[in-house]
Amino acid sequence: MKRIMLIVLDGLGDRPNKELGGKTALQAAFRPNLNFLASNGTNGLMSPVSHGLKVGSDTSHLSLIGYDPREFYSGRGPFEAMGLGMDVRPGDVAFRANFGTRENGIITDRRAGRIRDGNSELCSSINMEIDGTRFFVKEGVEHRAALVIRGSGLSDKITDSDPHITGKPAQEIMALDRSAEHTAHVLNQFLERSREILDSSDVNRRREERGEPRGNELLIRGAGMAPVLPPFGEKYGMKGACVVGIPMISGICQLVGMDVIKHPGATGTVDTDYSGKIRTAVKALKDHDFVLVNIKATDIAGHDGDPILKRDVLEKTDRAFGPLRDILGDTVIAITGDHSTPCSIKEHSGDSVPITFVTDGIRKDGVRFYDEISALKGELRITSNDTMNYLLGLSDRAEKYGA
């Protein structure tokens, strides 16, 4: 049986760019290694989760490793919390949160003047335990934060405290069914205690002195329970690992029981150590059957709307891929994206992404270049839900469907 490496270039897919003479970033990049791998593999286009669907990195990665998000995804809360590097465990309930400003019981600013300084201090001041339920709050960018609660008998069938508009009080958390009454009760207690703590905090006293809106109300929304996912090792009989720079994806891998291999240079930014990351992943194949690699920089360049940067990131990525040529004898490699992030729209889109499966002995389909348009000449038109089927089949691990 061969080993498997699944390489996800985040936000890989692009559309034509004026700055690149009408080419996508991939088409414009000098990419001899990617072209070598495509020339020796089976190619085509992959639609993340479903054809034409605009997806997030969380749903797409779940799908790529064989957990259909339409069955397993439970809302953004737990994944955003993981994205902040929080420890999220199956059964935890997580929320997106903001610090807002409350004056005489009314929310006057849902972002507390985009509070920056003291955000982390405010968060840590309201970590607490109430009746055996633990509350963890961690800061995000600016006024944003996440709340994770852990305890027995929790439910995510509850309403938001965030009124979503100013001029109203924060809402009392309501249970949407009987099973959620306990959760609503402890959350309301937590929010009440948080108000007292935040009102008297030094951070807010200083903000008041400077005439800035206080961050004295944690507004929570989008409750989601971290899904209980079948462990990767049991599902596939493979020992899995990931080498990724972004906490949201390593959080997903942790949820399914993969080893998270830290590589100090893997930063999840455009300055990431591309070669080190690939070397670490190749090394991880020695004691793992399956290694997932995510390179985030392509998505960042897409969100920045910078096709030159996206092209340059792809060239750096390509240079790091040299060692992959040497492992095709005993490894199946897939190279794809988790969605498109076209520079021209600076957002994720439902456009498909190229995918290459490559290993010795595979059917070569005559595609010679790795990019969105050349992939049209390839054999495959698949969704990300099919990816693991191909990988298992090509590595001689597939179980027969039927007799």
Q: Which residues make up the interface to Zn ion (CB under 5 A)?
A: 10, 57, 299, 338
Q: Which residues partner with 145 through β-bridges? A: 97, 139
Residue 379 and residue 44 in contact, taking contact as beta carbons nearer than 8 Å: yes
CB of 246 to Zn ion, least distance (A): 9
For Zn ion, which is the closer residue by CB, 59 or 201?
59
Minimum CB distance to Zn ion, residue 349 (Å): 10
Phi, psi of 74 (to 5 degrees): -125, 25
Nearer to Zn ion, 55 or 122 (CB): 55
Place of tokens 């469907």: 401
Residue 223, token pair as written in the block: 């409750």
**Among 287, 302, 292, residue whose Cα is nearest residue 266:** 292
Q: Which residue is nearest to Zn ion (CB)?
A: 57
DSSP reduced 3-state for 38: helix
Query: Is 116:142 a contact under the CB 8 Å cutoff?
Result: yes
Closest CA to 338 of 85, 134, 57: 57
Task: Please tell me the distance from the alpha carbon of residue 128 to that of residue 147, in angstroms, as a whole number.
Answer: 11
Of 120 and 344, nearer to Zn ion (C-beta) is 344
The minimum distance between CB 302 and Zn ion, in angstroms, equals 7
- Residues 51 and 388: beta-carbon distance below 8 Å: no
State in angstroms the smallest separation of the CB of 60 from Zn ion.
6
Owner of token pair 């309930």: 93
Kind of pairing between the strands at 128-130 and 133-139 = antiparallel
Shortest Cβ distance from residue 341 to Zn ion (Å)? 5
Looking at the Cβ atoms of 338 and 351, the one nearer to Zn ion is: 338
Q: Residue 347 and residue 344: Cα distance in Å, rounded?
A: 8
Of 162 and 312, CB closest to Zn ion: 312
Rounded Cα distance between 225 and 4, Å, is 31
Smallest CA-to-CA distance from 95 within 26, 211, 183, 197 is with 183
Tell me whether residue 338 or residue 371 sits nearer to Zn ion (CB atom): 338
Least distance to Zn ion, CB of residue 14, Å: 13
Question: Closest CB to Zn ion among 59 and 101?
Answer: 59
C-alpha 53, offset from chain centre = 16
| CB 304, min distance to Zn ion, A | 11
Rank residues 223 and 258 by Cβ distance to Zn ion and give the closer one: 258
Nearest distance in Å: CB 298, Zn ion: 9
